[in-house]
Every structure is written in structure tokens, then in C-alpha cells.
Amino acid sequence: MKNIADLAVFGVQKLSPYQPGKPVAELERELGITNIVKLASNENPLGAPTSAVTAMQAVLSDIALYPDGSAFDLKAALAKNLSVATNQITVGNGSNELLDLVARVFLSSENNAVISQYAFLVYSIAVQSVGAELRVAEAKDFGHDLAAMAKLVDKNTRIIFIANPNNPTGTCLSISAIEHFIQSIPGDVIVVLDEAYHEYVTQVGYASGLTLLDRFPNLIVTRTFSKAYGLAGLRVGYCISSTVIADLLNRLREPFNVNALALAAAETVLHDAKYLQNSVETNSTGMKQLEDGLQALGLRFIPSAGNFIAVDFSRDAAFLYQAFLQEGIIVRPIAVYGMPTWLRVSIGLPEQNTRFLNSCRKVLSL
Ligand SMILES: *Cc1c(COP(=O)(O)O)cnc(C)c1O
């Protein structure tokens, strides 16, 4: 008789599960401490948007009913907001679901996908899960080297994933670089441009890939409500593409993939300009605070366009991670990305950033 683990399809046999940031409640249980600061999952430090909480309360009494599987209202609001057609939009259970859907629509064991070294881990899981070959281009200064990625494209390449900005490195590509890249590769290769941190980016030369959609029917731009919009716990994201791609994604999408509370909250927060502005301002102030603090400590970091920063401690970061936990601070080890001396730290509220910086001083002297 076969071992049950061997019955899994080949791609799944080789997978390692995604390691999320440690939940606050888990550390509370383990150490019996409170007043924990979690800077590990790039969540919004402002907490839930009040507007979204109110919107969810208003639909709570409807939860005996299935949600609107077509996400009509949310898509209409997004279409207006982004100046695209509703049939170019696909809504997902987090943008993670959409990344996975794209892989399932376009990849098989017969073809391959190209990503960059240090790219968001979800891409490699999505690619490998369907048995496709994963091609990883070496990064340049921790960022995507588009020329190196283009070199890995062959006749069997179906998808290229680009995270812009990238997580966990925070590096960001200019729109002209992305435009040249898409022009340079065959039109039958799908380019997934992951803009999970779009709302935070202030970098000169940056623009959303949405500006290229009209010219490139092979482009998919993914976005999320998990970061700047503060709805990570609800799981809702979206992507914008040509209608042909949206139709393909819609065939494979679960009929009710986004729940009713998430739909209501996302539609409401999309109009909550104040929350978004506060998110962005809190982030840029906090980023400056952390950069200054890290510099003062003599620690190297990668300038980040997102709501997090990768810091090089120049020693085994697994030990430091544990030391931060003892201080009640949860950060993110990124050894799985091949960065064993680095920790990724989400930008928090000013007092949380201060606590992290003070703890840096303490753990560095251990
Ligand atoms: C956080 C993140 C996402 C968003 O995931 P959701 O499933 O929408 O919560 C997508 N891509 C990257 C690069 C991220 O860091």
C-alpha cells in the first residue's frame, strides 16, 4: 500500500507551507505576556476602519443568505474609482486567491512561470502547486532585474510575476521600466503585476500598471484591501485585466469566493478617503522614524516603497527574532527568502516604532 503523503500530486509533495507572521494571541499564550506589538504581517497599524465596521454591522442580519457572487456593487465602485469597465475586474478572497487563480488558469506541468529572487513567496507556491516549472531570475540590489527575468522566458513561459513594490524587500520599479519590459516579451506571456502596496508608493517614476492595460491585453494588475485599507482579516482583493482574462478567471473562481461582510466593508472603505490618507501619512512618518532610528543604530536596511522595511542585522536573525519575541515584539524572519541575517519589520504607530527601536538596542547587546 502507498504512503498517503505520496498520493498527493507531485507539485504538492514538494511544497512547504507559507509561514505567516506569528499571531499576537499565540505569543500571549506562549509567554503569558500582554502589550504585544506585532510588526510582522504588514497589517495596518491604524486598526479597522470605522466606516467598514459600521457597513458590516448593517449587513450582519443578512448572513443567512449567500453573498452576491458577482460582487456587483463592489465592482461598480472599483470600476468608477479606477476608470475601468466592471467586466475587467475580478474580486478575490484576498489578492492571494487571485494569484492562485491565475496560476491555475494558465499553468500546467507542460509550461513554466518566471519570478525574481526574493519575490513574494505566494508566487512560487502557486506555480509549484500546479506542477509547472518555476524559473527564478537573480535579483539586482534586492530588486527585480527585469532583463534577467526576460532572459528566462522561452516558448513555454506562460506567466511572469512582478511584485511592485516587492515584499519582503520593498524595492520598486518605475513604470517606464515595466513598460519596456512588457514590450520586450511575447504578447502571449501573462504579466501579473502585484500592486499590493500601491497606495503607499511615493517614489518618483512610479505609476500603476493600470496605465498600461489598454495596450497590453496580457497584463493583470492585482490589488488588495489588506494593507492601506486595513481589512486584512476580511480577505478581499481584486485584479484588473483585459475582459478576456477576467472571463477566464471567472470560470474557475468559486461562485461565492468573497463573503458578504468583506464585500460591504470593501465597498465602503473604498470611499473612505480619510482612512486612506491617514494610512499613507502614518506610514511615511513611521518609515522616516524607522529609517532614522536604524541609521542611528548603524543598521543597514533596504529603502522601501511599502509599509515595511527589511533590516540586515549581519548575524543570525533567528536568534534575534526570538529575542524580540521576549520583548513582546513580533517581527518577521525572512530566511525562507534566502535572507537569514535580515528581519522584515512592518511600519507601526510612532510608539510601536519607538518600542521596536528601543528593543533593537537591547537585543543587539545580547
Ligand atoms: C500582502 C501581500 C499581498 C496581499 O495579500 P492578500 O491576500 O490580498 O491579503 C499580495 N502581494 C504581496 C506582495 C503582499 O505582500
pLDDT at 11 over 90: no
State the distance from the centre of ligand 1 to the C-alpha of 95, rounded, in angstroms.
6
- Model pLDDT, residue 16: 87
Pocket of ligand 1 (CB under 6 A): 42, 94-96, 120, 163, 167, 194, 196, 224, 226-227, 232, 237
Nearest CA to ligand 1 atom 1: 196
Report the atom number in ligand 1 closest to the C-alpha of 225.
8
- Model pLDDT, residue 366: 73
Q: Per residue in 290-348, pLDDT tens? A: 999 999 999 999 999 999 999 999 999 999 999 999 999 999 999 999 999 999 999 99
State the distance from the centre of ligand 1 to the C-alpha of 222, rounded, in angstroms.
9
Which of 41, 120, 201, 239 maximizes ligand 1 atoms within 8 Å of its Cβ, making it the mutation to test the pocket?
A: 120
| 217 confidence band (pLDDT: 50, 70, 90) | very high
98 contact partners, CB below 8 Å, separation of at least 6? 90, 92, 222, 237, 238, 239, 249
State the distance from the centre of ligand 1 to the C-alpha of 42, rounded, in angstroms.
9
C-alpha cell at 10: 507531485
Nearest CA to ligand 1 atom 10: 196
Closest CA to 321 of 309, 336, 334, 304: 334
Contact 107, 293 (CB under 8 A): no
- Model pLDDT, residue 1: 82
Q: What percent of the chain has pLDDT over 90?
A: 95
Cis-peptide into 23, omega within 30 deg: no
Q: Per residue in 25-37, pLDDT tens? A: 999 999 999 899 9
Report the atom number in ligand 1 closest to the C-alpha of 306.
15
Report the atom number in ligand 1 closest to the C-alpha of 165.
13
State the distance from the centre of ligand 1 to the C-alpha of 164, rounded, in angstroms.
11
State the distance from the centre of ligand 1 to the C-alpha of 296, rounded, in angstroms.
31
**219 vs 224: CA distance, rounded Å:** 17
Contact 118, 338 (CB under 8 A): yes
State the distance from the centre of ligand 1 to the C-alpha of 224, rounded, in angstroms.
7
Which residue, chain included where needed, has cell 497589517? 43
Burial class (CB in 10 A: 0-12, 13-18, 19+), 23: middle
Q: Per residue in 218-251, pLDDT tens? A: 999 999 999 999 999 999 999 999 999 999 999 9
Which of 199, 200, 227, 346 maximizes ligand 1 atoms within 8 Å of its Cβ, making it the mutation to test the pocket?
A: 227
pTM check: above 0.85: yes
| 10 confidence band (pLDDT: 50, 70, 90) | confident
Q: What percent of the chain has pLDDT over 70?
A: 100
Report the atom number in ligand 1 closest to the C-alpha of 163.
13
Q: What is the mean pLDDT of residues 170-174?
A: 98
- Model pLDDT, residue 361: 94
17 contact partners, CB below 8 Å, separation of at least 6? none
Q: Per residue in 136-161, pLDDT tens? A: 999 999 999 999 999 999 999 999 99
Which of 101, 124, 167 maximizes ligand 1 atoms within 8 Å of its Cβ, making it the mutation to test the pocket?
A: 167
- Model pLDDT, residue 14: 86
Nearest CA to ligand 1 atom 3: 196
